[in-house]
Structure 1
Amino acid sequence: MTADVPELGAYAVDARDGRVGVVMGWVGTYVQLRPPGGGREWDCPPGDVRPAPPADIVRARVRERNAEGRLP
C-alpha cells in the first residue's frame, strides 16, 4: 500500500474509468474496490486509486441506502 491509497473502508475513485468504490482490501499489489451498495469487487493498481471527492461520496452513500431499502 502506498501513502496515497485511501484506507480500508474509505470511498475511492478508480482513475482508469471514474468508478467509485469502497476500499475492501489489498490482493498482491492491487487495491480491491467494491461498488457502493454491493456488487462484484474489482482490482485496481494503487497508482490509479484516488480519494473520492465529497460529491462522489454523497452519491455513493445514497446508492448504499437505496440498496439497503431493496433488501428482503
Structure 2
Amino acid sequence: MTGTPPTAFPEVGTMVRDTSRDKVGRVMAHLHGTLWLRPPGGGQEWTAYPQDVLPLSASESLSSRVAELNRRARQPY
C-alpha cells in the first residue's frame, strides 16, 4: 500500500485548534470526512478538515475550559 495514511480523527469532546480559521473548538461529530466543531461555551458550529486541526496543549485546554465555565456562570437561569 502506498500514499499517505489517512489523518486520524480526534475523539468527540476533544478541544482542538482549527489552524485554517485560528479558532478553538470542541469536536462535536465526525461526518463525511470532516469534523464538526463548536466554540467553547456554545455558539455556531463549523466544519474543519482533520488535517487542519491540532490538539490543544494542557494549558490551552484548561484556559478554554475556564472560559467556558465562566460564560455558563454568567448566563441567567
TM-score > 0.5 by shorter chain: yes
Give 1:67's match in structure 2, choosing from 66, 71, 75. Answer: 71
Q: Which runs of 5+ in 1 are unaligned?
A: none
Deviation per residue, 1:16-49 (Å, 9 max, x gap): 1321110000222210110001111110011101
When Rg is computed on C-alpha atoms for both structures, the one with the higher figure is 2
Output the aligned Cα RMSD: 1.5
TM-score using structure 2 length? 0.81
- Structure 1 runs, 4 residues or longer, greater than 6 Å off: none
**Residues matched between the structures, number:** 71
- The residue correspondences of 1:19-30 to structure 2 (distance < 5 A) are 19-30=23-34
Q: Which runs of 5+ in 2 are unaligned?
A: 1-5
Correspondence for 1:17:
21
Greater relative contact order structure (CA < 8 Å, 6+ sep): 1
Q: In structure 2, give the amino acid aligned to 1:11.
A: M
TM-score using structure 1 length? 0.86
